[in-house]
Amino acid sequence: MEKQMEQAIDIVREELPMQRFAGEGLSQAVVEGEVALPGGLREETRVLCSEAMAVPERSSAENGRVQLDGKVIFHVLYTQGDPTKVHALEASADFAHTADVPGAQSGMAAPVSLMVEHAEASAQGGRLHLLAVLRVQARAFADEPLDVVSGIRGSDGLMTRSETMRTIRTVGFGGQDVLIRDECELGSALQITDTLYATAMASVQDVSGGEGRATISGTIQLETTHLSDMPSRPVVITRHSIPFEETVVVSGENGDDLCCSATVRDVAVISQEGANEGERTLRAEVMLGLRAESTQSREVRLLLDAYTTQGDALALETQNIRRATARRQLHTAESGKLTLMTDGHPPVRTPLKATLRPVITDLSQSGGRLIAEGMMEAALLYTTDDDPAPQVFRTEEPFRAVFACEPGLPESISLTAANIEPVTVTSDRVEVKYILHLDCYDVQLSPKPLVTQVSARPAEPPETGILLCFSQPGETVWDLAKRYRVDPEALKRMNPGLQDGSAEGQRVILWKR
């Protein structure tokens, strides 16, 4: 039957190159490490603050899963022996994690996003045990062509509906690590005696390129923790903004668009005495992992639907393939505020440092906005009037953030709290202001089915005369015309109240000879 039909009409086929979204998986990874403390075994050790940064190293797709290798860098503030003297320790722990990703196959691209949801450190027997809980979002993509039907021609009574669709495929890729150096002056008013460690996050602001190169420019936000001789403030925080512009070699073809990302892989800081008394010079080195992906886009007019008003009917076979239509590095931020009630703890005099880690429990999209809800893991380091030793308060508080964006794969976002500023309101109430940064290596997807085959089948005997029908939920004028095998324009002429688009809930008159 199909062969007879192909002799009567002309089926136009096309091999459509595209990037297919195979699947995604959300999981948790628990990373542990251990390191020896430099002091004596009998000295009491108290952990004040724990921070962690997750760094992906490699990811690869296998059948039904994605394998990830990476490391977690820990920074810990603690006291040992003397409860008033603060020490710092940096350590890293390598990890391997397997994420279940239905649809993944060996050889597919497998980007992964990481977010630290919990970090802790505990001391025992002269050793520090480290633990981090990571939120792991893994995806799988395949660059592969698909043979589709782009049109049908050459038959009386043939009705077709088509649409111009956009598709992309990856044609070039590049990645490299670069070392960014910067230095700045630390004022004498801070009375800094030593610099302990720094954390950093990077964002991409602009991308340009061509001829096998991509120039990536952006900003690194550096937060540094220091020791100080200021009264009641043994720890001070300084923040610095470091611009960068680096060029990455992109291997492969020249594409139409570039999508680039920057990941902080390591941070090193040191401060030395400055030119004037009391001043210090901060020197920072940040290792950035830069990634560039070149994509080639194509617009093609493809068949969406077809039917005949006479003779044999048509049967269309379709495939529901989620294909990529655009890529982008998404970065946005919103401010937030938490109120910490420290009832039952020593009264707060001076907040020294606060850490915040969001744990996402729900994501929703509405009107171009992404709404993230969850719990914020908070830790406050502060001093009190009665004791020179720093105090610690830990809690979890609900949060809700609304971002002006609508990512195609919202589960792949990561949230990071920065510019955290604790302010004492009363001795048992502290307000913590922060900026919540959202990052996502986003892919816009199209869910529309693609027609891959057309065949003929015997049509039901036509009804004649004047017919009265009622449209079904979700039906359009096209759907009605196809159901009764009439020309959509003729249907609208018989029913002047019908408009293009939805015909739901309308009474329709048909006249069939």
> Per-residue pLDDT tens for 213-264?
999 999 999 999 999 999 889 999 999 999 999 999 999 888 888 899 999 9
Q: Are residues 186 and 265 in the same domain?
A: yes
165 within some domain: no
pLDDT in tens, 26-68: 999 999 999 999 877 778 899 999 999 999 999 999 999 999 9
* Number of domains the chain contains: 2
Q: Are residues 83 and 220 in the same domain?
A: yes
H or E segment at 483? helix 477-484
Q: What is the dihedral of CA 382, 387, 390, 393, to 10 degrees?
A: -60
Q: Are residues 436 and 492 in the same domain?
A: no
Residues 509, 513: Cα–Cα separation, whole Å? 13
Q: Are residues 472 and 392 in the same domain?
A: no
Q: Are residues 353 and 468 in the same domain?
A: no
467 within some domain: yes
Choose the final residue of a domain: 417, 446, 475. 446
The rounded mean pLDDT for the chain is 91
Tokens of 288: 């950035």
42 Cβ neighbours under 8 A, 6+ residues apart = none
- N-term to C-term CA, the chain: 27
pLDDT of 501 above 70: no
254 within some domain: yes
Q: For 56-91, give the DSSP string.
A: EEEEEEETTEEEEEEEEEEEEEEEESEEEEEEEEEE
Q: Are residues 395 and 486 in the same domain?
A: no
Taking residues 449-459, report their average pLDDT: 89
Under the banding of pLDDT at 50, 70 and 90, the label for residue 99 is: very high
Under the banding of pLDDT at 50, 70 and 90, the label for residue 1 is: very low
Strands 233-249 and 251-252: what pairing? unpaired
331 within some domain: yes
313 within some domain: no
Residues 214, 258: Cα–Cα separation, whole Å? 7
Choose the final residue of a domain: 413, 446, 479. 446
415 within some domain: yes
Choice between 123 and 447, residue whose per-residue pLDDT is larger: 123
Q: Are residues 432 and 505 in the same domain?
A: no
Under the banding of pLDDT at 50, 70 and 90, the label for residue 512 is: low
Whether 141 contacts 108, CB under 8 Å? yes
Q: Are residues 72 and 198 in the same domain?
A: yes
Choose the final residue of a domain: 446, 470, 497. 446
Q: Identify the weakest region by mean pLDDT among 11-15, 134-138, 393-397, 399-403.
A: 11-15
Q: Are residues 78 and 113 in the same domain?
A: yes
- The whole domain housing 73 covers 18-141+170-296+325-446
Q: Are residues 332 and 407 in the same domain?
A: yes
CATH code (residue 491): 3.10.350.10
pLDDT of 3 above 60: no
400 within some domain: yes
Taking residues 151-172, report their average pLDDT: 88
312 within some domain: no
Q: Are residues 123 and 259 in the same domain?
A: yes
pLDDT of 348 above 80: yes
